[in-house]
Amino acid sequence: MSLVPDPALFDKVVNLCKRRGFVFPSADIYGGFRSTYDYGPVGVLLLRNVKDAWWRSMVQLRHDVVGLDAAILSPPAIWEASGHLQNFADPLVDCRNCGERFRLDKLDDPDECPNCHAKGSFTEARQFNLMFKTYAGPVEGAGAEVYLRPETAQGMFVNFKNVLETSRKRPPFGIAQIGKSFRNEITPGNFVFRTREFEQMEMEYFVPPDDAPSWYEHWCNERMQWYRDLGIPADRLRLRAHDDDELSHYSVATSDVEFLFPWGWDELEGIANRTDFDLSQHAKASGESLDYFDQALGERYVPYVIEPAAGATRTAMAFVLAAYDEEEVSREGQGQGESRTVLRFHPRIAPYKVAVLPLSKKPELQVPATDVLAQLQPHFMCDYDETQAIGRRYRRQDELGTPYCVTVDFETPDDRAVTVRDRDTMAQDRVPIDGLLDHLGPKLT
């Protein structure tokens, strides 16, 4: 994989995502609904695997992090206290020539309109708040306003006391949440990279204030390792510390995990030292004390928070981009010297782990194939496909990134064995049906 941005890769991946059922434009039959996407039969598995892998590493494998699923609709009081009503805004400029609107800080040239190429045509920037406002109940108007959350984080802060009182956790400890967030982005785009509705995976880790810098380092390292462990090549990942003028209103230190997208380096996740800003603000606004008395230290303090905040949908896209490969292959099933497209997903990320492919639809093969499927399904997400030439079915599974194809052939009824084909090497092994689970299990966990 080349280390320069590759715009052609973007088109190929967007195309594959639609063709193979990963991602569809939303409201497709009505001509699409701008920059909104639906995850199809394969995409929903991919996205779920990304979220499961995050949850496994952040919650399941730790004793110091618990989960939460907070409401999306939220009262203005939360966003007033968090500073979002005032500060969660991007600088918006209008082009006086063509009327298009842009986010000033994302323009390559702040003096030239990317749409009509007019120079010096922008209005003064004004702050545009990104929160979606709506109304709860039958009466619209003052007092009925609610917001769709623009981040999941505030759910953890407003539940800090509830979790502290019920979970027997003490700082340092974390609260993790995965869920939808909504931002009225000025310029959504780059496929699912920036959308107005997206999913986040966030964890707020509450620590004694003096320990915040070392926990910040810890989480920067842990999070980089997570991406590498799941197969993102180390040279397409980097950690970039924010300059002081980039920091959000609540942060004293932030680093972004960046991935080399087809258009260049861009953010997958932000890791921030949010200090005691959020808990102090909510304590002040709600009148509830959100501090902690540390008996060992004999001290009362408001915990500092280290937050790794990742985008599930954006990260899923990065996994597809990183997995995408094309290669020339020699004869396999059919064709000679043809090229194949293969998504080399880590098995934990791959939508389907195994595809069961009987060589024929005849009952003599269909029956053992359904038996094999029934044996594997309780353990792995499986696909089953019995139409078309086997070579084409392999190519399809390569494009879905399925690590193993299990082929039931005309020998199977006699030798009670199947052929297991490896996605990456295309090597084929003959494996007894009774030993299939033991053969595949260790490779797929």
Residues that bind ligand ATP (CB under 6 A): 151, 183, 185, 194-195, 198, 200, 267-270, 309-311, 313-314
Rg (CA), the chain: 25
Min CB(199)–ligand ATP separation in Å = 8
Min CB(196)–ligand ATP separation in Å = 7
Instruction: Give the residue with the Cβ less far from ligand ATP, 222 or 267.
Output: 267
Instruction: Give the residue with the Cβ less far from ligand ATP, 269 or 398.
Output: 269
Min CB(185)–ligand ATP separation in Å = 5
Min CB(254)–ligand ATP separation in Å = 8
Min CB(37)–ligand ATP separation in Å = 10
Distance of CA 410 to the CA centre of its chain: 42
Instruction: Give the residue with the Cβ less far from ligand ATP, 240 or 443.
Output: 240
Of 270, 271, 219, residue with least CA distance to 57: 219
Distance of CA 442 to the CA centre of its chain: 25
Count of other CB atoms within 10 angstroms of residue 430: 11
The C-alpha atoms of residue 180 and residue 404 are separated, in whole angstroms, by: 32
The C-alpha atoms of residue 138 and residue 220 are separated, in whole angstroms, by: 46
Min CB(445)–ligand ATP separation in Å = 27
Q: And the tokens for 386?
A: 């019995």
Min CB(311)–ligand ATP separation in Å = 2
Instruction: Give the residue with the Cβ less far from ligand ATP, 313 or 402.
Output: 313
Which residues 6+ apart lie within 8 Å of 408 measured at CB? 356, 357, 358, 359, 365, 368, 369, 372, 418
Instruction: Give the residue with the Cβ less far from ligand ATP, 195 or 273.
Output: 195
The C-alpha atoms of residue 309 and residue 412 are separated, in whole angstroms, by: 49
Can you give the length of the chain in residues?
A: 445
Which residues 6+ apart lie within 8 Å of 97 measured at CB? 113, 116, 118, 121
Instruction: Give the residue with the Cβ less far from ligand ATP, 195 or 397.
Output: 195
Instruction: Give the residue with the Cβ less far from ligand ATP, 131 or 408.
Output: 131
Instruction: Give the residue with the Cβ less far from ligand ATP, 156 or 369.
Output: 156
Phi and psi based region of residue 339 (left: phi greater than 0; alpha: psi -120 to 50; beta: remaining): beta
When CB distances to ligand ATP are compared, the closest residue is 311
Distance of CA 178 to the CA centre of its chain: 10
Min CB(88)–ligand ATP separation in Å = 9
The single-letter code of the amino acid at 300 is R
